[in-house]
A and B are shown apart, each in its own frame.
Chain A
Amino acid sequence: MIEVKNLVKKYGDHFAVNGLSFSLENGKIYGFLGPNGAGKSTTMNMMTGYIASTSGDVVINGHSILDEPEEAKKCIGYLPEIPPVYPEMTVSEYLTVVADLKRIPKVDRKSVVADAMETVKITEMKDRLIKNLSKGYKQRVGIAQALIGEPDIIILDEPTVGLDPHQIIEIRELVRSLGQKHTVIISSHILTEISEVCDYVLIINHGKLVAADSTENLEEMFAGGNSLELLVDGKKDAIVRTLSSFGEIIKCDIADYDEEQKAYPVQLKVTNDADIRRGLFKAFASADMPIIEMKSRMVSLEEVFLELTRDIDVDKENDTDIDSATPGVESEEA
């Protein structure tokens, strides 16, 4: 259980993290999402006690990171942005040293190190010098280091940066399997990663929490209903007239005439449960305007993210509007 209370980090006059509060339950996979420079790493560094907060506190399993740093740090395994490895050591040497630093009794050290290497699949690399390993393997050594001592909470800062697609998939699977036993927090600016792996997403921008909810809820909330995309061959005003007979349409955008397709691209937002596709087909057919294409889609997390972070940019000066524009920001039931 992690509670972050009104966390603030100020560098000079700049707020890297500005009043962040949330609490995380055990046994879930959490995703920190935010553009570069949003304060993800700073937040993680404060949660793990690497840097101290300007104000606010982080409580880990009942231990404040400021007042009882040692107890709190025992519950955490941390992989920072750059894997903190000693290049002149071999993989097994390095992990043994970490086990020693984490106060694993000498008799258990060997098995603990072997387990960690097995989990991240680097056993065959154990006698290689870390400086000779590829980026992907170094990253895994970093993760293995975080796993040593079976901490309750595992925090991984951008674990897939710089890896090839194969490795990314492997790390994702690893994170998913870790989520069965541990609380895992990963940060990323890659949305697919978060939406695929995490149960719960915290979107951060400019050092503030702009949304916090489960992945599905976020997508649902921002969909504001279904979206339909159409390509209609006909006159613009005729299209508008036809569409106006549908009360379920919340929003309607008609783009400029597409010369190639010889049709108007139309984007519709429809109230949640309404399915007007058949009605549209009939209406346009009777008006003699062929629908060349029609597809329905849900709003993706990516759009949620873009929406939220764009709002911030517009309202940078006027922070009060953000909260009302972002459902989920108050949800602290977690």
Chain B
Amino acid sequence: MLDSGSGHARSGTVLLQTIGLTKRYGSFLANDAIDIAIRPQEIHALLGENGAGKSTLVKTIYGLIQPSEGEMLWQGEKMVLAGPHDARARGIGMVFQHFSLFDNLTVAENVALGLDGKESFKAMSARLEQVSQQYGLPLDPKREVWQLSVGERQRIEIVRVLMQNPKFLILDEPTAVLTPQEADQLFVVLERLKSEGRAILYISHKLDEVKRLCDTATILRGGKKISTCLPREETAASLARMMVGTEIKQVKAVAHRQTTVPRLVVNDLSLAPDEPHGVHLKNISLELKGGEILGIAGVAGNGQDEFFAALSGERLSRDPGTIVIDGHAAGHLSITARRKLGAAFVPEERLGHGTAPRMRLSENALLTGHAASGMVHNGFINTAATLATVDRATESFDVRKAKRDPEAASLSGGNLQKFIVGREILRNPVVLVVSQPTWGVDAGAAAVIRQALLDLAAAGAAILVTSQDLDELADIADRIAVMFHGRLSEPLMTADADRETLGLLMGGSALTPKDVPDAVGA
């Protein structure tokens, strides 16, 4: 623990301090009384899993979110921010994970759009060139953004912030989109900014990076601050443990589920991304028997979305044999054909992917049910059948809604998720691929959904669950594999998959023999 900051050789003057900063959304605490202190000439890591509250905290510091309780001190004085412009005026800059650049404008034009426009375009361009050279972030102001690589685009964002000469920089997962080489270059720049006396808040979940770069680290979990520590004195394993939680929940004793024939087989699946920021899937193989639940852990953006699309048939594979559903080669089959083989899919995004938000539940039942149930006769929709599915899902999964057949968007997250899972389970699938089954749903709905998955497996279906919630996977999965950079690790039996091991795999640290714990907590 390091709360006084006495471990630093630098002066004790605190640049930014938050005291009991709390952000409440309804009954949900996104940030729960967070105290954090950042000093000049410090690179301070903010570590945590998705949903730990990192984004909420930095958005509050940048003035995008008003805190519900608590206060912020800037150079010892109380700070209330009316918006990001207020933060920028004080010298707080932020580089977002998602770039906001206009592809068809030049570098200089993009930068000009973010500034106040008090200096002439020519003077601004000259300053842009000077700043970019000074910090070793080479940029040609006249080039149009669409011609630039992702790394170069990020440079624009960084230079744009540096041109405002900030005292304090927030970087949100800056290396998420960079190659290792580009990341190394970025670290040199960050070291330099630090040596100039600026403070940096560095959001990441990559443990090696944090150990290498950061002076201090604050770890968040479930909206609470877990600890502030010196990452160089910690091991990747100890950081991972703090990040994902030390207390190991009692894993639900797996009943003697009968595992049967392989229902879902993936053979050496490799798939290039179809989007610039996509992840390349590399040599993924797995075998999943009936009655079994396989969990896939991993930090978001490591290929889970791409893997889901490949399994569902939203993206096709050239080689039919890469995906085998219930004994049928299916790599080349459309999602409708795969559904006809008995597969069902629940994507991560409820609105816009799993359902059409502005359509009724009965129409959304039709969305996935049209292929393989009695909802369509000779091209005509059997409205009674679609409504019956809504009623059955409502009854079996306790979907609460204002009327019999409302628009999908009007349901709460938990109720809509229950409907979506119910819609698929009611089709009695032999294979269910489900992504983030309880992401952002209330505890009651989460319990219903997890129980439904366990029941379906008990009935003989093979279930593949992708989740970032390790507690969830520990509760329901028989085996857990980790996805990192498009590769899938060997599955571990859930009992052997302690958090440390999983955390290391998720952070991309290769397992060395001494890291493998010989004693397992469960």
Q: Do A and B assemble together?
A: no
